[in-house]
């Protein structure tokens, strides 16, 4: 069966520090991969999606970037975090874009 791992679960970082969040999927090949951010009590904001290795589409211009160095690995990065980067970050995968998405347990990011 397919599983998705996302880590860390919680992260506290100072303003201006770098960020690296990692997500890996097991049990499937060539998945679509997604990074979302969710503000408290709100819906999902799509940040990046990827349909293949090295293929990244950005939905929101900001100081975040994403990479897909391997088929089932998706990384969210920042060189310098802002206070506004605080939030709940979710990684997800799907077989195709219109099909159900399967989510990791998220990373709670707090910027001090």
Residues at the interface with other proteins (CB under 8 A): 6, 32, 34, 41-44, 46, 49, 51, 57, 59, 88, 90, 92, 96-106, 108
Residue whose tokens read 């799509």: 46
CB 70 within 8 A of CB 83: no
Cβ nearer to other proteins, comparing 13 with 51: 51
Residues 6+ apart with CB under 8 A from 33: 23, 25, 49, 50, 68, 74, 91, 92, 93
Nearest distance from C-beta of residue 14 to other proteins, angstroms: 23
Name which of 39 and 82 has its Cβ closer to other proteins.
39
Minimum Å gap between C-beta 71 and other proteins is: 17
**CB-side neighbour CA atoms (13 Å) of 101:** 17
Q: How far is the CB of 23 from other proteins (least distance, A)?
A: 11
Nearer to other proteins, 14 or 99 (CB): 99
Between β-strands 87-94 and 64-70, what pairing exists: parallel, antiparallel or unpaired?
Answer: unpaired
Beta carbon nearer to other proteins, 61 or 99: 99
């Amino acid at each position: 069966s397919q599983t998705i791992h996302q880590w860390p679960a919680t992260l506290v970082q100072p303003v201006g520090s770098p960020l690296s969040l990692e997500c890996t999927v097991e049990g499937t090949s060539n998945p679509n991969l997604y990074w979302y951010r969710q503000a408290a009590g709100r819906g999902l904001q799509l940040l990046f999606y990827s349909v293949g290795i090295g293929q990244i589409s950005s939905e929101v211009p900001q100081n975040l970037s994403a990479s897909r160095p391997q088929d089932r690995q998706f990384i969210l990065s920042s060189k310098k975090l802002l206070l506004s980067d605080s939030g709940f970050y979710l990684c997800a995968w799907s077989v195709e874009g219109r099909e159900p998405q399967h989510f990791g347990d998220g990373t709670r990011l707090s910027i001090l």
